Each structure stands twice: as C-alpha cells, then as structure tokens.
Chain A
Amino acid sequence: ILNVEQSPQSLHVQEGDSTNFTCSFPSSNFYALHWYRWETAKSPEALFVMTLNGDEKKKGRISATLNTKEGYSYLYIKGSQPEDSATYLCAFTSGSARQLTFGSGTQLTVLP
C-alpha cells in the first residue's frame, strides 16, 4: 500500500501571508508527483506534474519543489489571496503505473 501524507491537514492564513505545505511519498520506484487545487463544487485542477529530483515549478504566486530521494515535495504560495482558498492535493505515481495515489489534502483558508 502506497502511503502519501500531507501536512498540515488544514491551515488558516491572513491575506498577504506566504505559506507552504508538505507532501511526503515513498522514495522508491518514483515516477511522478502531482499537485492539484480543488475548489468547492469544481473539478480538481492540475497545478504541477514533477518527475525529476530537484524539479522546481512555478505558476504565478504558486511554486513547488521536489525531492525524490527523501520522498517529499513542498508547495509554496506567496502573498496568499482569498481566491487561493481551496484544498491542495498531492498525488504520487509509482514506476510506470498511471494510477495516482492521493494524499488527504491540505485545506487552505485565506482570511481577508
């Protein structure tokens, strides 16, 4: 059973604060690590797919890093805005399998 863990489970920050969350995953047989943003009543939206150790990806104020050797990824949000409020999911793919194993998510609330 693949174990993907995310922390913290939930987070409240003030508008303008920067924040980050963690995703840990098995370090063996790594294939890809995905980050999704899931807003209420919408489909999860893909943010990043990372495959290489040391990968850093950025989209606007959101960025992510990947360490496959130690099995973790960080998601950073700079200058949080209320519209960033969502559940952030990470998902791990092992070997050449195309199925994703999800963490339980980090629920972010940005207070105005």
Chain B
Amino acid sequence: GAVVSQHPSWVICKSGTSVKIECRSLDFQATTMFWYRQFPKQSLMLMATSNEGSKATYEQGVEKDKFLINHASLTLSTLTVTSAHPEDSSFYICSGSRENTEAFFGQGTRLTVV
C-alpha cells in the first residue's frame, strides 16, 4: 500500500510553545489529508480535512487558530499546534487519501505538553 511518513513520532514541549507535525505521502499524491486526534481510551476523532491548495475545513470544536494546517503540495501537509497547553497532550495522526480511494495513515505523533 501507499506510504505516509509522519514526523516526529513523539515530542515533549513546554507549555506556551508551538509544535509542528509533518506528514508526507511518499509514493502517491494525497489530494486530501485528514488530521485526527486520539485521547486515551477514546476513538480517533477527526480534527480537520485539508485539500491541496485550499484552506482546511475544521470540525466543530476544533480551533482553527490554534491548530494551523497547511497543505501546500500534494505530498506534504503540516499541523502546527500553537501555544500548546497540557490539555493539548494527545496522539495526533494524519491520513492521506487519493481521489475516492482508501486513506493511508502516518505513524502518529505523541505530543506531551509540560
């Protein structure tokens, strides 16, 4: 299957700082990138959907000014958690989708804000 590379795998940052997470589709063009978050013992929750070259669509309750998503090319999307706080500590995972096909996941990023 297609490969999505997500970095970093885990990150610890101080409260108030910003963290950038990258997802690259290595062998296909991801026309759509989905960003999910998973809190302990909960399901994957969609945060936002981004299509290459356009603004991301955020799910209800997700602050677009806090979670900045950039999808400038068909192979790269980034999620920046701005002014991170301990409650933002979570598992973040992206998945890239080609037109009307299944989605391929990155490895996920474990974020801990201290």
Contacts and interface: CB of A to CB of B under 8 A. Distances in A.
A joins B in a complex: yes
A70 interface: no
Interface of A: 34, 36, 41-46, 49, 89, 96, 98-105
A46 B59 CA distance: 24
A34 B43 contact: no
B34 A43 contact: no
B19 interface: no
B102 A49 contact: yes
A89 B105 contact: no
B67 interface: no
10 contacts: A34-B102, A44-B93, A46-B102, A96-B100, A98-B32, A100-B46, A102-B45, A102-B46, A104-B43, A105-B43
Given A89-B44, A98-B49, 10 more contacts: A43-B107, A44-B93, A46-B103, A98-B99, A99-B49, A100-B34, A100-B46, A102-B36, A102-B44, A105-B43
A33 B99 CA distance: 16
A99 B95 CA distance: 10
Contacts of A42: 107
Contact of A98 (B6, B42, B43, B97): B97
A96 B106 CA distance: 23
Contacts, number: 50
Interface in B55-114: 93, 95, 97, 99-108
Interface of B: 1, 4, 6, 32, 34, 36, 42-46, 49, 93, 95, 97, 99-108
A103 B34 CA distance: 16
A99 B4 contact: no
Nearest to A101: B46
Nearest to A100: B103
- Among A41, A46, A49, A103, the most chain B Cβ lie within 10 Å of the Cβ of A46
A68 B93 CA distance: 28
Contact of B106 (A43, A45, A49, A89): A43
